[in-house]
Amino acid sequence: MERGLAIIDRAALAHNLSRVRQLAPGREVFAAVKADGYGHGAGVVAATLAAAGCDGFAVSSLDEALQLRWAGISQPIMTLSQPLGADVLAVMGEHDITPVVFERAHLTALAAYRGPTLGAWIKLDSGMHRLGFPAYEAEALSAAIHDMPSVTLAGCMTHLGCADDPSDPLTHHQLACFDEALAGIAVPRSIANSAGVIAWPASHGDRVRPGIMLYGSSPMVDRTSHDLDLAPVMHLSAPLISRRDLGAGEPIGYGASWHTPEPMPVGVIGIGYGDGYPRHAPSGTPVLIGDAIVPLVGRVSMDMITVDLRNAPHAAIGDRATLWGPGLPADDVAHAAGTIAYELFCRLTPRVRFEVQ
């Protein structure tokens, strides 16, 4: 019997890519597959999306880019937050990896670089104030890259800080800032993450960079994955390994943080924070057995969680519980646990077995 098992549904990935295409028709799609494909396995995710026609991939670092190259991915790959020095640029040239430039020191390294031509993207800060040059420097930066012997300007990009909330004024401000900065430069533009793809058509530019929506979760504060017709790619399940019938007023688990309100069946599921299930998930966090929600009760342990089986009184040892996946959106579990689906996915540990479907 498998313990924690994550099944990766390739058809769901392809479906979600088609949703990106419907929402942002005609734009280049660069799938964000950083952090091991948001914990889904970057190799299988990238290969599946490439076969479905994805134009390229966005990763965090050179290491992540090289892992995709070693996995046989031949599409363009851009690094989103890789510092650029001489050694890094030499490897990027050799493996045809696209640098994103976000610090002045990177320009010095690019100017000194000699090798296969690198098409660099300039990252502009349009108001999120995380990475990027002040947007008003776009023309000067473009001119500087123009003078470099082995580097061309492939495009300009920025990142949105509040696109998940359609009522947040910052996105309007960021889009206007970016537009104004690039008014005099004809270069490809890239702005949109998943929330931009979904809610901000003006952010679609030439290249969109969706991540979380490809994995089937909603980035929006006001819309669910169901509303958006996104299919869950990961199905995380674990078996019921024990069950017992307890009387009223009995404590459950470490710290006795929960007590049975009445005589009831309690189940034990073989997954815990040692597998990446969030330890801070409180009593009441949804877990699914069959069609029944069996809420988490008591504290999450390293190897186990305990659940209230009153909704599934006939659940038997060996039955599999869904922690998230079809029938139980990761967004719902994340909401209950005070986090986001991105983090749930990224935190799974090597103890979880992965299977591709």
Residues of this chain that interact with ligand PLP (CB under 6 A) are 32, 34, 80, 159, 193-194, 209-212, 219
Beta strand ranges found along the chain (DSSP E): 5-8, 28-32, 56-59, 77-79, 97-98, 100-101, 118-125, 133-134, 151-157, 189-190, 207-208, 234-246, 251-252, 258-259, 264-269, 288-289, 292-293, 305-308, 320-324, 353-356
Residues 150, 155, 161, 163: what is their CA dihedral angle, to the nearest 10 degrees? Answer: -150
Residue the block writes with tokens 């892992």: 67
Cβ of residue 324: shortest distance to ligand PLP, in angstroms?
Answer: 17
Structural contact between residues 237 and 268, judged by C-beta atoms closer than 8 angstroms: no
Catalytic residue among 34, 38, 123, 342: 34
Cβ of residue 223: shortest distance to ligand PLP, in angstroms?
Answer: 14
Q: Which one, 161 or 274, has the nearer CB to ligand PLP?
A: 161
SS3 190: strand
Structural contact between residues 295 and 287, judged by C-beta atoms closer than 8 angstroms: yes
SS3 244: strand
Structural contact between residues 260 and 247, judged by C-beta atoms closer than 8 angstroms: yes
Report the 10 Å Cβ neighbour count for 255: 9
Beta strand ranges found along 195-352 (DSSP E): 207-208, 234-246, 251-252, 258-259, 264-269, 288-289, 292-293, 305-308, 320-324
d(Cα 73, Cα 123) in Å, to the nearest integer? 24
d(Cα 340, Cα 332) in Å, to the nearest integer? 9
Cβ of residue 95: shortest distance to ligand PLP, in angstroms?
Answer: 21
Q: Which one, 164 or 275, has the nearer CB to ligand PLP?
A: 164
Q: Shortest Cβ contact with ligand PLP: which residue?
A: 211
Q: Which one, 126 or 194, has the nearer CB to ligand PLP?
A: 194
Record the tokens describing residue 5, joined without a space: 């098992």
Q: Which one, 37 or 267, has the nearer CB to ligand PLP?
A: 37
Catalytic residue among 113, 215, 254, 277: 254
d(Cα 301, Cα 297) in Å, to the nearest integer? 11
Cβ of residue 130: shortest distance to ligand PLP, in angstroms?
Answer: 9
Q: Which one, 37 or 286, has the nearer CB to ligand PLP?
A: 37
Q: Which one, 192 or 238, has the nearer CB to ligand PLP?
A: 192
Cβ of residue 164: shortest distance to ligand PLP, in angstroms?
Answer: 8
34 is known as an active-site residue: yes
Cβ of residue 32: shortest distance to ligand PLP, in angstroms?
Answer: 4
Question: Would you name the residues annotated as active-site residues?
Answer: 34, 254
